[in-house]
Each structure stands twice: as C-alpha cells, then as structure tokens.
C-alpha cells in the first residue's frame, strides 16, 4: 500500500505526526479561556460599514499590489514612532503570523541561524524547521520582575551563520518594552555581524506605565536591517479579518515584496484604511479596559500563596511566577484546565528562562465593562469569575 509520507515534504512529517498524537479535548460548557490572544471586543459600526460599503461599491475583484491608500495610511500611522516610510516600503500581509512568514521567507536560506529570545512568542519557530534554519536560543534576564533582553547573552550565541534575530517589542509574554539602550545594543550587534532584526511590533498601541515604543528601524545602520512586522489583530480586535504589514528599508523592500505571501481581500483593506485613519478613540477605549484588567489581575494574583506577578510595561498579558506553588508551568496549566475549567498558556514560550511562569491573556472583560463583546459575558463568565477559580485552585494546591 502506498505511503503518502513518501510524497510530502520531510519537514512537515514530524509536525503532522505530533499533531495526530496530541490529545484532543472537548471543552465543558463552563470553560473559560485566558489562552489565545483573541480580543473580546466587537468592531465599531463605522469600520463594519466601511467593509460593507466596499463590497457594495464593487471592491470584489483583484487588488494587485494592494490598495495604495492602505500603504499610505500605514506610513502615516507609523510616523508617530519617529520613522517615515514611503508606500513602496510597505508589504500588506494576511496578519501577524503571515507577516513573520513573509519576512523570514525574504531573508533566510537553509543552513542559516536565527536567534530567538527566551521567553518570547514562538510563532515563527515551526517555519524555521520548514526552511532548514537552526533556531538558536538567547535567554533573557529578570529585572524588577520582568524578562528583559540580555545583550551579552545574545552576543554569546552569534556565529558566522547568524542571519537574523526575532524580537517581540512590546514583549509577548515578557511584558517588556525595550529601552533605547537595549535597542542600541541589539542594533550594534546587527551592524557589526551583519544580520537582520525581525521586529514584531504587534502591541505598540498597548504600552503602560509611561513607557514609549521606540522604532528600531530608525536607528543608525538599521533601515535595511530591520523588518517591522505588525497586524491589526490586537490593535483593532481584528483577529478574524487577517490584516497586517511589513515595513522594510527602501533597498530591502523589493525582496520582501517578492517573498511568497497571501493576499488580503480588498473590502477588508478598505476597512483597515478607515481604522487607521479614524479608529483611535476605539483603540483608547480598549486600552483603558485592558489597563483595568491588568491592574485587577496583578492585585488578585499577588494575593495568592506561591504566586508573584509584576504588571507588564506593554501588551495585554500577565506572566506570573507560579513556581512557589510547587508545580511546573505545564502541571499548573493542565490541572487548572481539568479541575477549574480555565484554559491558560503554560510552558510554551521558551525552553528555560521562563520555567515556572504561565501566561494569562486579558481577553475576558471585567463584569462592569460595557463595550460589546463577541461572546456573552455573565457573572459566571467574566474576569472576576476566572480569577475566583484560579484562587480556589491555587489555595487548594499550595500549603
């Protein structure tokens, strides 16, 4: 009998086999998820109307090269971070992960090495295996309760094969907003060793405690060594509408644009234009609600035995240290799911530095928050209820 495996790409075999052996769960009706970063907010009506009007107005066809007005809107948006791109430097993508895939596809060859910080978002690591690229880990360091980039640790893993480094700034799940000193240290290494920085800047709108997002692409020597990957997924609660972009230097941009990618439907691009031009009141509303959730979650977690949690500087995740409970990250997450019907992310953000930490996504509203949610919010399905279950779980398992 013919084996299909003889017909498929080698790098996919391990992924499919791992997926097929992974245990599948059927969630109970009372399951609460604080796992995936899929915001709960509904889009404001004027953005919905922009998409609808585009469909009714005939934007149902190919949009070769993408809508030039959207590229101009991206340039205008990003200029607030001190870097003004030209529309020719913008590649429109189908969201955050496609932005990373297209960026890596433009620069990496089999045998290259990519540096990833630990902990960090792992969205591109599967692609590394697919491309035949070695992913090298550089541990972050703990400073005042947050994981921060360690320039010496990065320097120590650079080799002649180093082609790129992945940064998520603001950090997911670290919560760090990189300082000018940290970014300069990374930029100096990139220039000295001639590698590219894939800068995932998905959470730039969600920066707390008076911090400010800095654009690495504006640093000396970094314009053609930085690929800025962004998406509307978090910025406009747009996860299902799949829209993002890459900003690259003028000499790098033609190669990024030529990298294999998918396209974004024309009506969705019209909605993105509306959002980028007029949607900041909506963003501020979301930011205020996230900030309230973060403050509430930090307070509740720090009241629990064996748990410590620092408020992040950016993004909308909490990354508490639960090692004092005596459980590993994986144990904590699995037992919490089974015993309390709470789903979180545990132990998936790096092999070492973040052991003993779990990630909670602030995608569930507090009971009194009023912006419409795409799922029903009740007294038993709100952030307070989730924290009550986590408190019950921790106190049961921690002496």
Domain 4-44+280-397, CATH number (from 3.40.50.2300, 3.40.630.30, 3.40.309.10, 3.90.1150.10)? 3.90.1150.10
- For the entire predicted model, the pTM comes to 0.93
Three-state DSSP at 231 gives strand
CA angle 338, 339, 342 (to 5 degrees): 70
The secondary element (H helix, E strand) that includes residue 174 is none
Q: Could you tell me the two tokens for 77?
A: 């948006």
Question: Rounded CA gap, 373 and 181, in Å?
Answer: 39
Highest mean pLDDT of the ranges 13-27, 32-46, 242-256: 242-256
Q: Could you tell me the two tokens for 388?
A: 């009550």
Whole-number average pLDDT of the chain: 91
349 confidence band (pLDDT: 50, 70, 90): confident
Q: For the stretch 165-188, what's the b/e string if a residue is b when 16 or more beta carbons lie within 10 angstroms of its beta carbon? A: bbbbbbbbbbbbbbeeebbbbbbb
Domain 60-278, CATH number (from 3.40.640.10, 2.50.20.10, 3.40.1180.10, 3.30.930.10)? 3.40.640.10
State mean pLDDT over 367-391: 94
User: How many C-alpha atoms does 121 have within 13 Å on its Cβ side?
Assistant: 24
Taking each helix axis from N to C end, the angle separating 266-278 and 68-78, rounded to the nearest 10 degrees, works out to 30
Dump the DSSP string for 38-102.
---BPPPHHHHHHHHHHHHTT--S--TT--HHHHHHHHHHHGGGT----GGGEEEESSHHHHHHH
Task: Assess whether pLDDT exceeds 60 at residue 20.
Answer: no
φ, ψ at 29 (rounded to 5°):
-60, -25
CA 309 to chain centre: 20
Three-state DSSP at 197 gives strand
pLDDT of residue 19: 47
* Peptide linkage before 345 cis (omega within 30 of 0): no
Q: Could you tell me the two tokens for 7?
A: 């017909």
CA angle 230, 37, 20 (to 5 degrees): 105
57 confidence band (pLDDT: 50, 70, 90): very high
Q: Which residues pair with 139 in a beta bridge?
A: 118
Three-state DSSP at 313 gives coil
Three-state DSSP at 360 gives strand
Question: Rounded CA gap, 246 and 229, in Å?
Answer: 5
Is residue 245 within 8 A of residue 93, CB to CB? The reply is: yes
Question: Rounded CA gap, 41 and 28, in Å?
Answer: 23
Identical fold for domains 4-44+280-397 and 60-278, yes or no, is no
Q: Which residues pair with 248 in a beta bridge?
A: 227
Taking each helix axis from N to C end, the angle separating 383-397 and 329-340, rounded to the nearest 10 degrees, works out to 110
392 confidence band (pLDDT: 50, 70, 90): very high
Task: Assess whether pLDDT exceeds 90 at residue 304.
Answer: yes
- In this structure, the number of other CB atoms found within 10 A of the CB of residue 88 comes to 13
Per-domain boundaries in the chain: 4-44+280-397, 60-278
* CB under 8 A, 24+ apart: contacts of 74-77: 74/245, 74/247, 74/276, 76/276, 76/277, 77/276
Q: Give tens-digit pLDDT for 207-261.
A: 998 899 999 999 999 999 999 999 998 989 888 889 999 999 999 999 999 998 8
Taking each helix axis from N to C end, the angle separating 383-397 and 280-302, rounded to the nearest 10 degrees, works out to 20
């Amino acid at each position: 009998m013919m084996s299909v495996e003889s017909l498929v790409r080698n790098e996919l075999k391990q992924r499919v086999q791992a997926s097929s052996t992974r245990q599948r769960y059927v969630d109970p009706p009372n399951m609460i998820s604080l796992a995936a970063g899929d915001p709960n907010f509904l889009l404001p009506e004027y953005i919905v109307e922009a998409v609808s009007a585009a469909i009714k107005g005939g934007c149902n066809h190919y949009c070769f090269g993408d809508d030039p007005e959207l590229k101009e809107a991206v340039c205008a948006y990003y200029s607030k971070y001190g870097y003004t791109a030209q529309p020719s430097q913008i590649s429109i993508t189908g969201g955050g992960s496609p932005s990373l895939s297209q960026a890596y596809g433009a620069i990496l060859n089999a045998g290259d090495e990519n540096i990833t910080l630990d902990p960090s978002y792992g969205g591109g690591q599967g692609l590394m295996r697919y491309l035949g690229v070695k992913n090298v880990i550089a541990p972050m360091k703990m400073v005042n309760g947050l994981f921060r980039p360690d320039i010496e640790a990065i320097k120590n893993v650079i080799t002649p094969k180093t082609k790129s480094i992945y940064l998520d700034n603001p950090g997911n799940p670290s919560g760090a907003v990189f300082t000018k000193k940290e970014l300069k240290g990374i930029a100096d290494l990139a220039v000295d060793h001639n590698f590219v920085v894939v800068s995932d800047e998905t959470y730039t709108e969600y920066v707390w405690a008076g911090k400010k997002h800095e654009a690495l692409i504006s640093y000396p020597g970094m314009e053609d060594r930085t690929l800025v990957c962004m998406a509307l997924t978090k910025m406009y609660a747009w996860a299902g509408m799949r829209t993002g972009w890459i900003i690259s230097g003028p000499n790098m941009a033609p190669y990024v644009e030529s990298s294999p990618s998918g396209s974004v439907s024309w009506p969705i691009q019209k909605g993105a234009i509306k959002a980028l031009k007029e949607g900041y009141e909506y963003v501020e509303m979301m930011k205020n609600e996230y900030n309230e959730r973060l403050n509430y979650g930090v307070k509740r977690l720090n009241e629990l035995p064996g748990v410590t949690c620092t408020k992040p500087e950016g993004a909308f995740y909490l990354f508490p240290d639960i090692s004092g409970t005596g459980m590993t990250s994986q144990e904590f997450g699995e037992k919490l799911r089974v015993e309390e019907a709470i789903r979180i992310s545990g132990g998936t953000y790096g092999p070492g530095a973040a052991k003993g930490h779990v990630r909670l996504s602030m995608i569930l509203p507090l009971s009194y928050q009023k912006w419409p949610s795409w799922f029903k919010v009740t007294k038993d399905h709100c952030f307070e209820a989730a924290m009550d279950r986590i408190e019950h779980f921790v106190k049961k398992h921690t002496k």
